[in-house]
């Protein structure tokens, strides 16, 4: 099992609208690509929120690294561009990939 984690710090000025958009549009669009089996939206508590923004981790689970690579090649560029266009200058993001140790 592969976990694709996207950590986003979103500016407070757009936070509420961003959160609704993520839950109703962006995350469903990512899931509709068919590459992921489930997702979670987590709000970071440590470090605490500051004046600049609130940090979230959006976690997507997929069966193998091949599926994730296909997502990156086929779907991610357009989905990331839509997010950037909508919230440019109002967020910072980084991505990590983890493998379940069995």
Number of domains, the chain: 1
CATH number reported for the structural domain that contains residue 73 in this entry = 3.30.70.100
Residue 49: predicted pLDDT: 65
pLDDT digits (tens, 9 = 90+) for 5-54: 999 999 999 999 999 999 999 999 999 999 999 999 999 987 766 678 99
Q: What is the mean pLDDT of residues 63-84?
A: 97
Mean pLDDT over all residues of the chain? 95
The three state secondary structure string of the chain is CEEEEEEEEEEHHHHHHHHHHHHHHHHHHHHCCCCCCEEEEEECCCCCCCCCEEEEEEEEEECCHHHHHHHHHHCHHHHHHHHHHHHCCCEEEEEEEEECCC
- Residue range of the domain that includes 22: 2-99
């Amino acid at each position: 099992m592969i976990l694709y984690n996207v950590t986003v710090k979103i500016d407070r000025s757009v936070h509420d609208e961003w959160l609704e958009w993520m839950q109703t549009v962006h995350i469903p669009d990512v899931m509709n690509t068919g590459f992921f089996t489930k997702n979670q939206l987590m709000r970071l508590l440590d470090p605490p929120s500051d004046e600049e923004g609130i940090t979230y981790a959006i976690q997507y689970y997929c069966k193998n690294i091949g599926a994730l690579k296909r997502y990156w090649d086929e779907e991610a560029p357009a989905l990331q561009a839509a997010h950037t266009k909508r919230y440019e200058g109002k967020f910072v993001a980084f991505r990590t990939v983890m493998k379940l140790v069995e």
